[in-house]
Amino acid sequence: MEQHKEETLQGQLHLLDPATVTFTPTPGGYLSMTDGENTYPRVKLCRALPYYEPEKYICVCNPEDGTEYGMIADLAPLPEEQKALIRQELSRLYFMPTVTAIRSAKMKMGFMEFEVDTDLGPRSFRMRDPSRNIRWLTPALDRRVQLTDCDGNRYLIPDAMALDKKSRNKIDTYLV
Q: What would the pLDDT profile of 10-46 be if each residue is shown by its tens digit?
A: 557 889 999 999 999 999 889 999 998 999 999 999 9
* pLDDT the model gives residue 3: 53
Domain coordinates in residue numbering, the chain:
2-93, 99-174
Average pLDDT of the chain is 90
Own/partner long-range contacts of 97-102 (Cβ < 8 Å, ≥24 apart) = 97/123, 97/155, 97/156, 98/155, 98/156, 98/157, 98/158, 99/147, 99/155, 99/156, 99/157, 99/163, 101/163, 101/164, 101/167, 102/163, 102/166, 102/167, 102/170, 102/171
Q: Tell me: the pLDDT tens digits for 113-128?
A: 999 999 999 999 999 9
Answer whether residue 4 shows pLDDT above 50.
Answer: no
